[in-house]
Amino acid sequence: MSAVSEVPPFERLSRDLLPVTYHLHLKPDLSEFTFSGRVQIHLSVAQSTSHITLHAAHLTVQRLQVHVRAATGEVREVECVRWALRAHNETLVINLAQALPVGAQVELSIEYKGELNDTLRGFYRTAQGPAQYGAVCHFEATGARHAFPCWDEPSFRAQFQVNIQVADASLVILSNMPEQSRELGPEGGVRVAFQPTPSIPTYLLCWSLGQYDFIEDVTPDEVTVRVYTPVGKKEEGAFALEVAVKALRYYKEFFGVPYRLPKMDLIALSDFAIGAMENWGLLTFRERLLLYDAQTSSAMIKQYVALIVAHEVAHQWFGNLVTIEWWTHLWLKEGYATWIEFLCVDHLFPEWNFWTQFITDTLNPALELDCLDNSHPIEVKVENPAQIDEIFDLISYNKGASIIRMLFNWIGETNFRRGMKAYLDRHAYGNATTEDLWKALEEASGSPVGTVMSTWTQKKGYPLIRASLCESKNELSVKQAPFCIGKGSSGGVSDQKECSLWEIPLSLTTKMSPQHSTMSIVLKGESEVVFLPENDNRSWLNLNPGKVGYFRVHYSPELMKRFVPAIEDRSLPVQDRIGLLQDYTDLCHAGIVPSVELIQLIEKYRDNEDFTVWDAVVASVKALQGLMQSDPECLDSFNFWQRWLFQPAMKRLGLDARSNDSHIDMLLRSLLHWSLVRANDEETLNDGLERFEAHRNGSALIPADLKSSMYACALRLKGQEVFDSLIQIAKDTDSHEAKGEVYNALGQSQDSNLLQQALEYGLSPAVRLQDTRSVLSSVSSESVLGRNLCWSFFKANASEIGKRYKTGGLLTRLIKAVTCPFSTLEEAAEIEAFFESHPFPGAQRSIKQAIESVRLRAHWIQRDLESVKTYLIDFQTKQASTPA
Ligand SMILES: [Zn+2]
């Protein structure tokens, strides 16, 4: 074996040469799964050079020529002395016999071949039916180089003219721009030329071929919007189409800047690595997140479709018209789009309470991750493709969105919109950085946006605010320090000086003024004393109204006690009830407050009727479940307690759909039903089995919102026979949503043989690459047995999994799903040792985060399990002796 090879340090491409236009000719072969390509790149020479370095990966270069056009118009070829493909940094390096003069117009022509693979990146194939394939591109972040040699960094914007030639003229062929011309060839082939794009970066280029139907609409300013669906399913594109058309209008008004392309296509893909991608004018989606069937789809899918369409349409401005300068600023487009998708959907569907859902779905997961030692700052230095792939995470998306929300609330909508328009106008068709956005918002608002916001983007984590009454009782003492969940023994705050202070926009609501803030400051120093507006020594005082601030609050016991009546009588606003519970859960996780107190706090939420509040309660209950999972006696009492908690709300709502059910009622019904299944509620399980039998024999259908949890009931009670039925249901349907309903239920069995079958099925060809995690996670998250089997299965198949996924979100989420549920220090050490000997380069940070979470849970158990157990057993005894 050779010695470890020296990898030279990472370098971004030189700007001596700048691509201006690309003419791209592609000939995909959908029977051999290969493609041949020819690209002509016109370059301008900014600095004289005799070297050309551009990106290319997994391509075979067959011919390469360089021509220079002199000012006189004369064209001559420049000799290429040598060229080579470098695998380590995915480049093609060309040495010329002569230097290219400054200002010259250069044409680089390359003929090459590539493969249509199954990796879901670059130019890859999609399975559309038995032995029927299409092909599509997914280029973000560094996939374009797998499809054609190019300057594959976001700051190299250029114009692209795409031509595609295929043997089958019946295929639907799409790209970012409308068709310019179409020529039928001999023997049934076709060559399609697309209109040139405006200036765009490589990662936003896209083309697609396959069999699709479409449904279309035209906006008042004559943008043609189409949703492409699998053949025979165009009606299922209607909802996405409606949202897309409305979102285009909403953003045009919000930004004061029109959409710039003549058309916008949204296409549902059978194989897709992420949720969706914003390629300018050709937006690609995982099929399950674009199709909505009013008869058979769940309320949750409807929401997902609305949100993800609103997200990708927002990128047409924020990301496409103005592009990030480098991937360090990824959060700028992703955090922003994640925030504004809620703004847009809340505007379109105000009855869905979307900003409240934001707190549980977006803000809280970011806070949970960001208090780990292994979190990272929003603006993070990244170089190679694996590092870039790994930052498409909750920090870039969810934390990014959360701090934009905080900023929006701080400077106000008018200033915010004025600043946004200035930013988009100033950088249109160009690139920008985080600082450019702050500058525009600062000019518009007159507030020190850059100084305040850089404290949130440039370092990891967030503050814990400790609030207590001063002796006089009419003053509030407010102190900030970095919240580190692993440092519970020192009050959950870091003593490290490197973690300096944040500039925190703070406001205050009280019992007398629950909706309107009575104070607004920016807390810059370590502490502040706030004079209280009224001298009511019983009023609750909320330092994070609407849960808008990206921080947690630790109230003194005296202040905490004041919230309790307002939780019970529900006079505390919904968002504040949620925020309070989430903060308390994390404080408990850190060891700052005991778990028994958290359980008692959750009990105060039992009479609540709001879906979003229940959603937060269920999340806290699940976190507690991790504490008891390995102690059967404790788990038994905990299940008893959960049934006591959830049953009244389920009874009030009822399991059968009512004619006046709202969207939110449907979400709540599914949430409560799942909770009772997990709590092993006998009545729920028996009823579920009965309904499943009726569903199976066609006498009564289960509504989509309840399918997964009903499947789970039947599987728990009837084992193999139901397992086989579920596999058959997944096989017989062509709906990705319906397959997903099965995947989510498969891990619900408590039989090791069935769990093992579920794992093997999850990695079999019957399950698409993007769906394996759903199956594995369903097994690993529900029981000690499941997580042990899943981990053994993962280890046995690690090299196959590594080969399948390489890097990216599918891999990191899969690894987290398999490892995070563990709960002892020995298990953490074993996971660590395994990944040391089996490294996954694109998942290093995720692995560290998972191990850290396991260790935290282990400490939590050591600290609190005994007292929780005593409390729960006692609770069960008391309840059992209380007459119903
Ligand atoms: Zn996005």
What average pLDDT score do residues 319-342 get? 96
Tokens at 532, concatenated? 């209280």
pLDDT at 494 over 70: no
Question: Which pLDDT does position 51 carry in this prediction?
Answer: 97
Q: How do 179-184 and 172-175 pair as beta strands?
A: unpaired
SS (H, E, C) 553-606: EEECHHHHHHHHHHHHCCCCCHHHHHHHHHHHHHHHHCCCCCHHHHHHHHHCCC
What average pLDDT score do residues 434-455 get? 97
Residue 218's DSSP bridge partners are: 224
What average pLDDT score do residues 372-387 get? 91
Question: Which pLDDT does position 498 carry in this prediction?
Answer: 47
Tokens at 180, concatenated? 């310019």
Cα separation, 570 vs 580, whole angstroms: 13
Question: Which pLDDT does position 56 carry in this prediction?
Answer: 98
For residue 206, give the DSSP letter.
-
What average pLDDT score do residues 335-345 get? 97
The pLDDT confidence band at residue 161, using thresholds 50, 70 and 90, is very high
Range from 179-188, 257-266, 345-354, 454-463 carrying the lowest mean pLDDT:
179-188
What average pLDDT score do residues 145-169 get? 97
3-state secondary structure of 290: coil
Radius of gyration of the chain (CA): 28
How crowded is residue 683: how many other Cβ atoms within 10 Å of its Cβ?
A: 11
Calculate how far, in angstroms, residue 319's C-alpha sits from the geometric centre of ligand 1.
8
Cα separation, 37 vs 59, whole angstroms: 10
For residue 350, give the DSSP letter.
G
Calculate how far, in angstroms, residue 340's C-alpha sits from the geometric centre of ligand 1.
11
Cα separation, 523 vs 507, whole angstroms: 10
SS (H, E, C) 47-71: CCEEEEEEECCCCEEEEEEEEEECC
Calculate how far, in angstroms, residue 311's C-alpha sits from the geometric centre of ligand 1.
6
Residue 160's DSSP bridge partners are: 22
> Do the beta carbons of residue 204 and residue 139 sit within 8 Å?
yes
> Do the beta carbons of residue 747 and residue 768 sit within 8 Å?
no
* Residues present in the chain in total: 884
Q: Could you give the percent of the chain with pLDDT greater than 70?
A: 97
Q: Which of 312, 341, 442, 852 is catalytic?
A: 312
If residue 812 lies in a helix (H) or strand (E), which one and from where to where?
Answer: helix 809-819
Tokens at 503, concatenated? 């500039």
Question: Which pLDDT does position 272 carry in this prediction?
Answer: 83
Cα separation, 830 vs 847, whole angstroms: 12
Q: Which of 875, 864, 881, 861 is nearest to 643 (CA)?
A: 875
Question: Which pLDDT does position 572 carry in this prediction?
Answer: 96
Tokens at 580, concatenated? 């309070």
What average pLDDT score do residues 407-417 get? 96
Q: How far is CA 188 from CA 207, 240, 350, in A?
A: 21, 34, 51
Calculate how far, in angstroms, residue 396's C-alpha sits from the geometric centre of ligand 1.
10
Cα separation, 785 vs 187, whole angstroms: 59
Range from 375-384, 734-743, 804-813 carrying the lowest mean pLDDT:
804-813
> Do the beta carbons of residue 729 and residue 692 sit within 8 Å?
no
Reported as a single tens digit per residue, the pLDDT across 456-474 is 999 999 999 999 999 887 8
Calculate how far, in angstroms, residue 313's C-alpha sits from the geometric centre of ligand 1.
9
Calculate how far, in angstroms, residue 486's C-alpha sits from the geometric centre of ligand 1.
31
Tokens at 486, concatenated? 């692993």
If residue 135 lies in a helix (H) or strand (E), which one and from where to where?
Answer: strand 132-138
Structural domains of the chain in order of their starting residue, each with its CATH number: 12-209 (2.60.40.1730), 212-317 (1.10.390.10), 318-457 (1.10.390.10), 464-555 (2.60.40.1910), 658-881 (1.25.50.20)
Q: How do 17-29 and 34-45 pair as beta strands?
A: antiparallel
Question: Which pLDDT does position 1 carry in this prediction?
Answer: 45
Q: Could you give the percent of the chain with pLDDT greater than 90?
A: 86
Which amino acid does the sequence have at 221? D
Tokens at 438, concatenated? 């702050």
Calculate how far, in angstroms, residue 209's C-alpha sits from the geometric centre of ligand 1.
23
Terminal Cα-to-Cα distance of the chain (whole angstroms): 75
pLDDT at 159 over 50: yes
What average pLDDT score do residues 416-422 get? 96
Residue with tokens 């949703």: 227
The pLDDT confidence band at residue 496, using thresholds 50, 70 and 90, is low
CA 611 to chain centre: 22
Q: Which of 541, 379, 572, 552 is nearest to 479 (CA)?
A: 552
What average pLDDT score do residues 616-638 get? 94
Q: How far is CA 619 from CA 358, 364, 786, 824, in A?
A: 14, 10, 20, 21
If residue 801 lies in a helix (H) or strand (E), which one and from where to where?
Answer: helix 798-805
pLDDT at 821 over 70: yes
> Do the beta carbons of residue 545 and residue 555 sit within 8 Å?
no
Is 520 or 81 the better-scoring residue by pLDDT?
81
Cα separation, 766 vs 763, whole angstroms: 8
Is 312 considered catalytic here? Answer: yes
Cα separation, 264 vs 281, whole angstroms: 4
Calculate how far, in angstroms, residue 394's C-alpha sits from the geometric centre of ligand 1.
12
Range from 26-30, 532-536, 759-763 carrying the lowest mean pLDDT:
532-536
Is 88 one of the annotated binding-site residues? Answer: no
If residue 347 lies in a helix (H) or strand (E), which one and from where to where?
Answer: helix 330-348
Calculate how far, in angstroms, residue 187's C-alpha sits from the geometric centre of ligand 1.
41
Q: How far is CA 271 from CA 173, 275, 289, in A?
A: 17, 11, 12
Calculate how far, in angstroms, residue 547's C-alpha sits from the geometric centre of ligand 1.
24
Tokens at 809, concatenated? 């979100």
Residue with tokens 């859960």: 585
> Do the beta carbons of residue 382 and residue 391 sit within 8 Å?
yes
How crowded is residue 397: how many other Cβ atoms within 10 Å of its Cβ?
A: 23
pLDDT at 324 over 70: yes
For 385-486, where are the alpha helices, taking DSSP H only?
385-390, 394, 400-411, 413-427, 434-445, 449-457
Cα separation, 870 vs 622, whole angstroms: 19
Q: Which of 411, 403, 406, 409 is nearest to 460 (CA)?
A: 403
Which residues touch 494 (CB under 8 Å, ≥6 apart)?
481, 482, 483, 484, 487
pLDDT at 500 over 80: no
Question: Which pLDDT does position 862 carry in this prediction?
Answer: 95
Q: What is the mean pLDDT of the chain?
A: 94
Q: Is 72 exposed, middle or buried (0-12, 13-18, 19+ CB in 10 A)?
A: exposed
* Cα torsion 547, 549, 550, 556: sign: negative
Is 77 one of the annotated binding-site residues? Answer: no
Cα separation, 67 vs 108, whole angstroms: 7
Buried b (16+ CB within 10 A) or exposed e, 738-748: bbbbbbbbbbb
What average pLDDT score do residues 661-671 get? 95
Which residues touch 324 (CB under 8 Å, ≥6 apart)?
154, 330, 332, 333, 431, 432, 433
Cα separation, 854 vs 627, whole angstroms: 11
Q: How do 463-469 and 552-555 pair as beta strands?
A: parallel
> Do the beta carbons of residue 780 and residue 817 sit within 8 Å?
yes
CA dihedral 867, 868, 870, 874 (to 10 degrees): 140
How crowded is residue 347: how many other Cβ atoms within 10 Å of its Cβ?
A: 15
Tokens at 241, concatenated? 């189409």
Q: How far is CA 616 from CA 147, 412, 486, 612, 816, in A?
A: 44, 28, 23, 7, 21
The pLDDT confidence band at residue 130, using thresholds 50, 70 and 90, is confident
* Cα torsion 311, 312, 317, 322: sign: positive
3-state secondary structure of 744: helix
Cα-flanking dihedrals φ and ψ of residue 322, to 5°? -115, 120
Reported as a single tens digit per residue, the pLDDT across 546-558 is 999 999 999 999 9
3-state secondary structure of 865: helix
Is 554 one of the annotated binding-site residues? Answer: no
Question: Which pLDDT does position 3 carry in this prediction?
Answer: 46
